């Protein structure tokens, strides 16, 4: 019966690789060709966002990894979050984290899109590592400016203006927390959010992202 279901699913609702859009088996997350091409992040950038003890990333933001993140932003690339969570969980083994949270999006974006890609990644990582996930610690205010559109020098001040502590936050005193986002660029967003979590009494904040951008040399 299971094989019949798999056969019908493959025909009626073909699963696609989030990195190249190639049709793959229903139980695959990323096609084998793209897995080989994914640009693994090897801590080329040693900079750690202020307020965090470490930054853990799976891939460099380029090529097939960039395609995967963009697919996730457009909703159909959820499998890339699942695959990335497997890579990240291996890199986070033994970290001692007690809680996972995400960088929030605005209410308007959440209402219009129906999801926040950072939430999707956080939930996938929570399931993979069997660590509780709380996505109601922080909130983001509406802004005419987008963080990714700003110059590096402007991002830090802007991030501190748009993120704040949620009125619905729970007690996180003395907890080691994984703070999750899709991309780490300058680290300004991670720093702003980490400072807020630290102000609530968190013991340690580890920044976690699927991708990290690297400066061109």
DSSP line for the chain: -HHHHHHHHHHHS-EE-TTT--EE-TT-SS-HHHHHH--B---------TT-SEEEEEEESSHHHHHHHHHHHTTTTHHHHHHHHHHHHHHTTT----EEEE----HHHHHHHS--HHHHHHHHHHHHHT--B---SEEE---SS-GGGS-HHHHHHHHHHHEEE-TTPPP-TT-EEEEEEEEESSSHHHHHHHHHHHHTT-SEEEEEEEEE-----
Domains observed in the chain: 39-212 (3.40.50.2020)
Entry pTM: 0.90
Distance CA 191, CA 74 (A): 26
pLDDT confidence of residue 153? 64
pLDDT confidence of residue 134? 97
> Helix 117-129 to helix 63-73 angle, to the nearest 10 degrees?
110
**What is the end-to-end Cα distance of the chain in Å, rounded?**
55
Answer for the pair 16, 36: CB distance below 8 angstroms, yes or no. Answer: no
Nearest CA among 31, 25, 28 for reference residue 5: 25
Distance CA 49, CA 52 (A): 6
Q: Count the Cβ atoms, other than its own, within 10 Å of residue 70.
A: 15
The tens place of each residue's pLDDT in the chain, 217 residues long, gives 465 655 566 666 789 999 999 999 888 999 999 999 999 999 888 899 999 999 999 999 999 999 999 999 887 789 999 999 999 999 999 999 999 999 999 988 888 888 899 999 999 999 999 999 999 999 999 865 565 555 566 666 778 889 999 999 999 999 999 999 999 999 999 999 999 999 999 999 999 999 999 976 4
pLDDT confidence of residue 158? 75
Q: Count the Cβ atoms, other than its own, within 10 Å of residue 104.
A: 24
Count how many Cα atoms sit within 13 Å of the Cα of residue 211 in the half-sphere of its side chain: 22
Nearest CA among 188, 184, 190 for reference residue 212: 184
pLDDT confidence of residue 3? 58
Nearest CA among 80, 62, 55, 84 for reference residue 213: 62
């Amino acid at each position: 019966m299971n094989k019949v279901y798999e056969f019908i699913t493959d025909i009626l609702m073909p699963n696609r690789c989030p990195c190249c859009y190639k049709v793959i088996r229903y139980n695959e997350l990323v096609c084998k060709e793209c897995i080989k091409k994914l640009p693994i992040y090897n801590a080329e950038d040693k900079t750690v966002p202020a307020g965090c003890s470490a930054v853990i990333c799976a891939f460099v933001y380029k090529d097939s990894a960039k395609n995967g993140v963009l697919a996730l932003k457009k909703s159909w690339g959820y499998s890339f979050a699942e695959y990335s969570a497997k890579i990240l969980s291996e890199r986070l083994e033994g970290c001692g984290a007690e809680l996972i949270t995400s960088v929030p999006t605005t209410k308007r974006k959440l209402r219009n899109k129906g999801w926040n890609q950072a939430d999707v990644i956080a939930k996938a990582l929570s399931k993979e590592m069997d660590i509780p996930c709380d996505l109601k610690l922080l909130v983001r205010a509406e802004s005419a400016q987008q963080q990714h559109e700003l110059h590096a020098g402007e991002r830090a001040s802007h991030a501190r203006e748009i993120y704040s502590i949620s009125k619905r936050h729970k007690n996180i005193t003395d907890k080691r927390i994984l703070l999750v986002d899709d991309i780490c660029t300058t680290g300004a967003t991670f720093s702003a959010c980490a400072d807020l979590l630290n102000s609530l009494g968190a013991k340690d904040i580890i920044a976690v992202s699927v991708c990290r951008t690297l400066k061109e040399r």
